[in-house]
Amino acid sequence: SRDGTFHLDANGQIVTANGYALEPAIVVPQNAQTFTVGQDGTVSVTL
C-alpha cells in the first residue's frame, strides 16, 4: 500500500487498509508479537 497501512486478516495474512492481500501472500504466524513492513518492502516478524 502506498500509504503504508497494513493489518492482518482473520487468517493472519497481511492485507492493505482496503482488505487486499499482498502478492505474493504473506501469512504471519499466530504467535507473532509484531510485524513491520520496511520502506523497501522487507517484512519482519517478532516472535
Domain chopping of the chain, boundaries: 1-47
Radius of gyration of the chain measured on its C-alpha atoms: 10
Task: Check residue 1 and give its pLDDT.
Answer: 57
CA 36 – CA 43 distance, rounded (Å): 6
CA trace torsion 26, 31, 37, 11 (10° rounding) = 40
Tell me what pLDDT residue 41 has.
84
Three-state SS across the chain? Answer: CCCCCEEECCCCEEEECCCCECCCCCECCCCCCEEEECCCCCEEEEC
Q: How high is the pLDDT of residue 30?
A: 94
Residue 18's pLDDT is 92
Q: Tell me the pTM.
A: 0.79
pLDDT for position 34: 92
pLDDT digits (tens, 9 = 90+) for 1-47: 567 789 999 999 999 999 999 999 999 999 999 999 888 889 999 99
